[in-house]
Chain A
Amino acid sequence: MHNTLLLAIVVAVALAFDFTNGFHDTANAVAPTIATGALKPKVAVALSSVFNLVGAFLSLKVAATIASALVAQNLVTLPVIFAGLIGAIAWNVTTWYFAIPSSSSHALIGGVIGAMMVLAGGHAVLWSGLISKVIIPAGLAPLVALVAAGVALIAARRLTAKVDTDTSSFGFRVGQIGSSSLLSIAHGTNDAQKTMGVVTLALIANGTLASNSSTPALVVVSCAIAIGMGTFFGGWRIIRTMGQGFTHLTPQQGFAAQIASSAVILTSSHMGLPLSTTHVATGAIIGVGAATPQQPVRWRLVADVAMAWVVTLPAAGLFGAFSYYVAHVIGGTFGVAVLALVAAAYVTFLMRRSRRHVINAANVNDLWGESLAPLEAATVVAA
């Protein structure tokens, strides 16, 4: 049944999610590059946004599904899509505020599951799929990346033992530019495709597109631009956590971490077991830190971030469930519009509060525990 206003709201919220996905996940590709000084912060973020944009345009085959193999697809309606997106945005912005790297994909899945459970109960969720395709891979991804990055770093250290420090640092910094770009393309391909699928599904659910239609060019362009702009906005808070919080990174460590991340993400995706970019990138950074006894890892922060990952699915689910319930109680397109405004107010509130401890290109590389200690304490407490 056509409802143009509802469709417009859903598409706008989907693009907003894509935008938050961009700035939330920027750190995965650029944090080590910025931390080691391979590129200046704004240059790194600008380069990543360009490659995310390019990657998004490489997404030629888009699946018009949302949380496929996780929820009953025949029950997915526009309000469910809307509530799922709101749940994901709310969690993304919350974790951004507390400078915690977390998976945008899991936030979207959680939001949709929460909404679906309010609509149709637990039997609408394919629990075995959730465990095998989301929860178990979520636990394994950082471990695989940790091992790959740690082993790679040890090998690099031994092979370049006789190379002078300046040449080694310069060489690995140059290498990081390539590895960061590859990660950005991979992210743009994966994550923009997800939002393209959601928007296409919304168009099909509204009857605007036939069920076997290909993704319209305007959808591809708008999703690509949204994720590119979000990346350019630069999630400085999370960049700081990943670049300075877990451990102090050298160019050699940064390169090993980024190459290991790229290898794990590309291989797993190609072989049909997609893993969270955030979990992999974080695991790789921790791996190179663990393989360097002279520079200890802040394990307390690691434990706190891991706890945030555990909470992501249920927390986004709660946001999604609440969104669907309120929109349903108010009723119709008006209910959806009211919820969209409530969500916008929540995001605005957090954005304004974030100005108490501003993190930007100028201070993103400040040593952990010094000028930004109050925010870092809040990051640990919040997680």
Chain B
Amino acid sequence: MIASLVDWPLLGRVVLVAVLAGVGVVVAFSVGLAALSFARDTARPLVVRILGVVVAVVMTGALVGALWWGFELITKKS
């Protein structure tokens, strides 16, 4: 049976981690971009603008971490 040749648990883990990682990075980037946009909007209240800066910084950190994780995966595999 062809189905028995597939490591289904491994495949499931790969799909789950890949989808979560991909969606997670895009979400973090989008949140950071939206936050930055709010921070730059002078029509918004100061609190919102400061919060926007904080969120943008946090998301940038998360993205740097994701990039580092990606780089670690590349070099560790090698």
CA distance A178 to B32 in the complex (A): 15
Q: Is the CB of A155 within 8 A of B27?
A: yes
A374 within 8 A of B: no
Interface string of B38-73 (1 = CB under 8 A from A): 001000000000000000000000000001001101
For the complex formed, measure the closest distance between the CB of A274 and the CB atoms of chain B, giving whole angstroms: 9
A160 within 8 A of B: yes
Q: What is the interface size of chain A, counting residues whose CB is below 8 A from a CB of the partner?
A: 50
- Return the contact of B67 from the options A55, A136, A172, A182 (Cβ within 8 A): A182
Q: Is the CB of A58 within 8 A of B18?
A: no
CA distance A186 to B21 in the complex (A): 16
The SS class assigned to the B binding surface is: helix
Q: Is the CB of B14 within 8 A of A273?
A: yes
- Return the contact of A136 from the options B6, B14, B73 (Cβ within 8 A): B6
Q: Is the CB of A270 within 8 A of B76?
A: yes
Known A-B contacts A167-B37, A189-B74; A159 and B18 likewise in contact (beta carbons under 8 Å): no
Q: Is the CB of A263 within 8 A of B21?
A: yes
A332 within 8 A of B: no
Q: Is the CB of A260 within 8 A of B78?
A: no
The SS class assigned to the A binding surface is: helix
Q: Is the CB of B33 within 8 A of A144?
A: no
For the complex formed, measure the closest distance between the CB of B57 and the CB atoms of chain A, giving whole angstroms: 15
CA distance A163 to B30 in the complex (A): 10
CA distance A356 to B48 in the complex (A): 58
A310 within 8 A of B: no
- Return the contact of B77 from the options A167, A189, A260 (Cβ within 8 A): A189
For the complex formed, measure the closest distance between the CB of B64 and the CB atoms of chain A, giving whole angstroms: 10
Q: Is the CB of B78 within 8 A of A151?
A: no
Contacts of B6 in A (CB 8 A): 132, 136
A355 within 8 A of B: no
Q: Is the CB of B23 within 8 A of A58?
A: no
Most buried by B among A140, A259, A260, A263: A263
Interface string of A248-283 (1 = CB under 8 A from B): 000000011001101110111111110000000000
Interface string of A275-316 (1 = CB under 8 A from B): 000000000000000000000000000000000000000000
Interface string of B1-45 (1 = CB under 8 A from A): 010011100110111011101110111011101101100100000
CA distance A72 to B22 in the complex (A): 37
For the complex formed, measure the closest distance between the CB of A375 and the CB atoms of chain B, giving whole angstroms: 32
Contacts of B23 in A (CB 8 A): 148, 151-152, 155, 260
A60 within 8 A of B: yes
CA distance A65 to B6 in the complex (A): 23
Q: Is the CB of A136 within 8 A of B22?
A: no
Contacts of B10 in A (CB 8 A): 271-273
User: Which B residue's beta carbon lies closest to that of A181?
Assistant: B67
CA distance A217 to B74 in the complex (A): 20
Known A-B contacts A163-B34, A273-B11; A60 and B78 likewise in contact (beta carbons under 8 Å): yes
Contacts of A208 in B (CB 8 A): none
For the complex formed, measure the closest distance between the CB of A240 and the CB atoms of chain B, giving whole angstroms: 25
Known A-B contacts A136-B5, A148-B19, A264-B18; A159 and B78 likewise in contact (beta carbons under 8 Å): no
CA distance A77 to B77 in the complex (A): 28
For the complex formed, measure the closest distance between the CB of B11 and the CB atoms of chain A, giving whole angstroms: 7
User: Which B residue's beta carbon lies closest to that of A143?
Assistant: B15
Most buried by A among B7, B34, B76, B77: B77
Q: Is the CB of B14 within 8 A of A267?
A: yes
Interface string of A53-82 (1 = CB under 8 A from B): 001001111000000000000000000000
Contacts of A186 in B (CB 8 A): 70, 74
Q: Is the CB of B78 within 8 A of A144?
A: no
8 closest Cβ pairs, A-B complex: A263-B22, A159-B30, A132-B5, A152-B26, A260-B22, A263-B21, A148-B22, A267-B18
A-B contact pairs, 27 of them (CB 8 A): A55-B74, A58-B75, A58-B78, A132-B7, A136-B5, A144-B14, A144-B19, A149-B22, A152-B25, A160-B37, A163-B33, A167-B36, A167-B37, A171-B36, A185-B71, A186-B70, A255-B26, A259-B25, A259-B26, A260-B23, A266-B70, A266-B73, A266-B74, A270-B76, A271-B17, A273-B10, A273-B14
